[in-house]
Amino acid sequence: MTYHLSTFLRCSQKYLSSTGILPIILVSMMCGCSFMEKPQATSSKPAPIATSTQTPSPSAQPDSFREAVSKAMKVAVNVQSAKSLEDWNEIARQWIEVIDLLKTVPSSSSNYEIAQKKMREYQKNLDYASQQVSRLDPFNQATEKARKAANLTQTAKYYDQWNQVLNLWKEAIALLNTISESHPKSSLARQKSTEYQTNLDYSQQQVIKNDPFSLGMAKAEEAVQLQPYAILEADWNQVARSWQEAINFLKNVSQNHPQKDLANQKISEYSKNLTYAKQQANSMRQAAAVAIQSSSSIPEPPPQPSPPKPSNSTQKPSPPKPSNSNQKPNQLPPSNSARDFLEDYLNDVVNKGNYGYGYWCKSSKDLVSRLYSPRNYQILDVYDYSNIASAVVRIDSSTKGGFAVTQNWDFSLHQEAGKWCLALIMEK
For the chain, give every domain's residue range: 1-39, 86-136, 143-207, 212-294, 334-427
Q: How far apart are CA 97 and CA 120, in angstroms?
A: 14
Q: How far apart are CA 118 and CA 75, in angstroms?
A: 14
Beta bridge partner(s), residue 409: 393, 427
8 A C-beta contact, residue 281 and residue 244: no
- Write the DSSP symbol of residue 329: T
pLDDT string in tens for the chain (428-residue length): 444 434 443 444 443 344 443 333 333 333 343 333 444 444 444 444 343 334 444 443 468 899 999 999 999 999 999 998 889 989 999 999 999 999 999 999 999 999 999 999 999 999 999 999 888 899 999 999 999 999 999 999 988 899 999 999 999 999 999 998 988 899 999 999 999 999 999 999 999 899 999 999 999 999 999 988 888 889 899 999 999 999 999 999 989 899 999 999 999 999 999 999 999 999 888 877 776 665 555 444 445 445 444 444 444 444 444 444 443 433 334 447 889 999 999 998 888 877 777 888 877 655 545 677 788 999 999 988 778 888 999 998 877 666 788 889 888 888 888 888 888 887 77
Q: How far apart are CA 371 and CA 398, in angstroms?
A: 8
Right CATH for 334-427 from 3.30.70.1150, 3.90.1150.10, 3.10.450.50, 2.30.110.10: 3.10.450.50
Q: How far apart are CA 236 and CA 281, in angstroms?
A: 5
**pTM of the full structure:** 0.45
Question: Interhelix angle for 233-251 vs 260-296, to 10°?
Answer: 160
Q: How far apart are CA 210 and CA 267, in angstroms?
A: 18
Element (H, E) at 140: helix 138-153
Q: How far apart are CA 57 and CA 123, in angstroms?
A: 32
8 A C-beta contact, residue 392 and residue 380: yes
8 A C-beta contact, residue 400 and residue 382: no
DSSP-derived secondary structure for 350-400: IIS----GGGB-TT--S-----EEEEEEEEEEEEEETTEEEEEEEEEEE-T
8 A C-beta contact, residue 361 and residue 422: yes
CB burial of 51-81 (b: ≥16 within 10 Å; e: otherwise) equals eeeeeeeeeeeebbbeebbebbeebeeebee
Q: How far apart are CA 199 and CA 167, in angstroms?
A: 11
3-state class (DSSP) for residue 426: strand
Q: How far apart are CA 297 and CA 84, in angstroms?
A: 91
Nearest to 160 by CA among 199, 198, 201, 210: 210
